[in-house]
Structure formats: structure tokens, C-alpha cells
Amino acid sequence: MIDQPTPSTYSEPLAADGDLVLLVAEDQKRTVIKLQRGQQWHTKRGFLLHDDLIDRPLGRMVVTRLGHAFLILEPSTHDLIRYLKRTTQIIFPKDAAYIALRLNLYPGRRVIEAGTGSGGLTLALARAVMPTGRVYSYEEREAMSALA
């Protein structure tokens, strides 16, 4: 039998200032945003105030000023890689998984990466070796380091 969470043992995770959250529209369009107090997220479906999302439980619906609903979720590794802002070619999740398997990555391993780029592969490598492993990523272009 699986223990069911009770109010005393389970609390819903809340979105916090600085968190990345996944917004899923009614048509399943997905967007990852970083929550920052005082900011707004604009779309053709209306806008959302970040302050209205901060301290709100994940897994709930939020509604824009035009009445369009979005589900607010914690983004998965796949979401983070797929919806990253990028100016370089990225490694997509299925390729990153193959790379991690070929490198025999598991928690505690150390990885050296040459060229951080947009950070998609770096993120996948970090998730593969966490919590005790490390990824050392080297990027010679300062603009790319700032993006990642």
C-alpha cells in the first residue's frame, strides 16, 4: 500500500521569486518564465503579474486579464531545455539523454564540458550527476556565459 499524503505531511510547493515556472495555455502552448517581483508576462492572451504567481501553489490555474487560463507548473528538465532562450544550436533532450548514457553518467560523477552555449546540455548533464556530482563548463565567449 502506498502512503497517501495527509495535510500534516504534505504541503503544496509554492512558486517563489526567482523561480522558473512553466505556463501551459488552454491550447497546450508552453512557456517557461522566471518570476521576478514587480514584473509582468505579456502574451496575445493578456498578461499576468508575476506578483500574482509568486507564493501561489504550483499545479493551479491562473487567469490573464483577458480571461485566458494558464496552468502554472514546475518545469521538468525537458521543458527547461526545450524552452530555453537560445542564440546557439542546442542539444535536445533525446540527444542529451543519449550523451549521458554513452558517458555512463550517474550521481557523483564529474564532467568537463567545452562550450556552454545556451546551457541546454549543461543542464541535462547536471541533472544526470546531481546531487553529489559536478559539471565544469568552459565558455570563452562572455555573452554566451551570461546567457547560460
pLDDT tens for residues 92-147?
Answer: 888 999 999 999 999 999 999 998 887 889 989 999 999 999 999 988 877 666 65
CATH number of 20-73: 3.10.330.20
Strands 110-114 and 134-138: parallel
**Number of DSSP helices (H) and strands (E) in the chain, helices first:** 5, 8
Exposure letters 19-37 (e unless 16+ CB within 10 A, then b): bebbbbeeeeeeebbebee
Distance in angstroms between the alpha carbons of the first and the last residue of the chain: 43
- Domain ranges in the chain are 20-73, 77-147
Q: How far apart are CA 89 and CA 87, in angstroms?
A: 7
- At the fourth CATH level, the homologous superfamily of domain 77-147 is Vaccinia Virus protein VP39 (3.40.50.150)
pLDDT tens for residues 40-54?
Answer: 999 999 999 999 999
pLDDT tens for residues 9-21?
Answer: 567 889 999 999 9
The whole-number pLDDT of residue 67 equals 92
